[in-house]
Amino acid sequence: MVLKKLTTLTIVGVSIGVLAACSRTPDQVVTKSAENAQTMMGQLESIQTQEMALQDAFEADLAADESLANLAESGTGATRENLQTRQEEFDELKSLFEDFQDQVESLNEFDETDFTAGEDFANFDTSRQLANSVNTQMSAYIENYQAVLEKEDAYYTSLAAEDSDLTTFSDGLAEINGNFETSQAALSEMLPDLTALAKLSQTENQAQ
């Protein structure tokens, strides 16, 4: 009896969620995706700020302790702190992106029949294509930047190992720089579309 009641409540909850999603207009979904794009830009700026501080942090830890213990996984140096901060900012970005992907999915459910004028649909479709482009580009950036963070983590740990040498230092650094350049290329490709989508939110606010 209790199980039957819980099942009924679950079905009702799902139905309400579906109705709520269907009740959103195309303009509302576009605005929400634009606002999300603007928030993601803020996260990217925070990550970039930490990246600019990384070189100084790394040099400070190299100078502070010849054993490089602060670079180990349990280290408390500036480099590890920088990496942890970027990981936290990146995790928040990924969470925002998951919401954005849901919005893109909703955008793709609309068609011409949801509009009263061809021009309205054309304007909507332009915004939707922009959101789809950002969706693809952000996926590539997130995949690449996750690799950067993982390689950094492994690299700092390897430097603190007793058997680390100059080859460990130079080869690892070259690999990280290569991964970083790939992630920056993905970011550069994405920024024009992400900025354009975020501006739709500002335009909407000014029109209200």
The tens digit of pLDDT for each residue in 102-118 reads 999 999 999 888 888 77
User: Which residue has better confidence, 189 or 161?
Assistant: 189
> Structure tokens of 196?
């354009």
Instruction: Tell me the per-residue pLDDT of 155-183, one tens digit each, with 9 for 90 and over.
Output: 999 998 888 888 988 998 899 999 999 99
Round to the nearest angstrom and report the end-to-end CA distance of the chain: 51
Neighbours of 9 (CB within 10 A): 10
Q: What percent of the chain is predicted at pLDDT more than 90?
A: 63
Length of the chain: 208
> Structure tokens of 194?
């992400």
What are the angstrom distances between the C-alpha of 204 and each of 39, 99, 101, 123? 15, 20, 21, 13
The DSSP 8-state label assigned to residue 114 in this structure reads: G
